[in-house]
Amino acid sequence: MILERRKANTIPTDWSAEDEAVLLTFLENESFDAKLLKTLFPNRTLPSIRSKVRKLRIKHDLFGASYRDTKEKFTEKIASEVKPKIVFDAYAGAGHQTFKWIARANTVYASELMKSKLKQFEKMASDHLFVKIDTKDCTWNLFQKDDKKIYLFIGDAVSAAAELKVNKVVVDLIDLDTCGSTLPTLPTLLVLLRPKHLVITHGEFHSMRFKREDVLRRLLVHRDIGSNPLPMGVDQMSDELDKAVKTAALRAHNETSDSFWLNLKDEIWLGGRIHGMLRRYYKVSKPSATADCINELSSLIKHA
């Protein structure tokens, strides 16, 4: 099936400071309601409103606030079971999960692309009694409490992981917690850091709900990119993401022996199955023979 480029059907209109303030107040007090928001902003399209909602939630640390306690309890559970010494938190944001990991770990290396998140992270560090250490010209911000250290890299997660690789930092667990998808970067991060454990949050369900065929065709690496994966329900999407993660890990390196096999050990829904995301914990191991791995993946795909 031939895809067409997405294009705007209306002339873009900038959001005024007043409209942003109205929307922010709404988001701080209410859950997303498309009909009500269209009433508040009758001259805007629903995609425009959704886009601004997402940006404001990220900017003001509101994204995932409704299920933050659930996510943190899951992080605490995995940290208690795994007991990682060194964690890489690839999409740290304001640091909510970072400070859950450091409760068990000795060191957390975190990265965050948005520079504006640094102040939020610094406040979170202060609330947890971590002191910011002057690192001069170092690209990593250091926060320390007793013998525990958190290093925050303001920049791309792959760049941060590359620096850790160059400096021979041994990472026990990586946490890929984002509102989008980390499937395209997963193989790179696995090869660079070679962790024993992986925790990943799947925001790809939003693409399924919005019927973004183009996005899903790009992300589901185990499927034929030329075929439409839709329609798809929540259960099938959950299975497809498991296959995609395992396939990406198996293909991470030219040699199967240097790639990875992921065993799904635990999972939890964040925000519910209808509107939420799925967070999963995988134990990372070495693959067996190529044929065995492909047979197992093929069986999963065939009988899904």
183: left (phi over 0), alpha (psi -120 to 50) or beta: alpha
Single-letter amino acid code for the residue at 115: K
Q: How far from chain centre, in Å, is Cα 271?
A: 15
Residue range 215-228: mean pLDDT, rounded = 90
More confident residue, 105 or 4: 105
146: left (phi over 0), alpha (psi -120 to 50) or beta: left
Tokens representing residue 38 in the block: 């269209």
Q: Kindly report, residue by residue over 119-136, the tens digit of the pLDDT.
A: 999 999 999 999 999 888
Confidence of residue 10 (pLDDT cuts 50, 70, 90): low
pLDDT of amino acid 87: 98
pLDDT of amino acid 50: 84
Cβ(70)–Cβ(155) below 8 Å: no
Cβ(176)–Cβ(199) below 8 Å: yes
95: left (phi over 0), alpha (psi -120 to 50) or beta: left
Specify the CATH architecture of the domain 65-302. 3-Layer(aba) Sandwich (3.40)
Most confident of 35-39, 72-76, 177-181, 254-258: 72-76
Cβ(81)–Cβ(104) below 8 Å: no
pLDDT of amino acid 304: 44
Cβ(49)–Cβ(26) below 8 Å: no
Residue range 236-241: mean pLDDT, rounded = 93
Tokens representing residue 98 in the block: 């970072």
Output the CA angle 58-97-102, nearest 5 degrees: 145
Q: What is the 3-state secondary structure (H, E, C) of the chain?
A: CCCCCCCCCCCCCCCCHHHHHHHHHHHHHCCCCHHHHHHHCCCCCHHHHHHHHHHHHHHCCCCCHHHHHHHHHHHHHHHHHHCCCEEEECCCCCCCCHHHHCCCCCEEEEEECCCCHHHHHHHHHHHCCCEEECCCCCCEEEEEECCEEEEEEECCHHHHHHHHHHCCCCCCEEEECCCCCCCCCHHHHHHHHCCCEEEEEECHHHHHHCCCHHHHHHHCCCCCCCCCCCCCCHHHHHHHHHHHHHHHHHCCCCCHHHCCEEEEEEEEEECCCCCCEEEEEEEEECCCCHHHHHHHHHHHHHCC
Summary mean pLDDT of the chain:
90
pLDDT at residue 59 is higher than 70:
yes
Separation CA 86–CA 171 (nearest Å) = 5
pTM: 0.87
Confidence of residue 6 (pLDDT cuts 50, 70, 90): confident
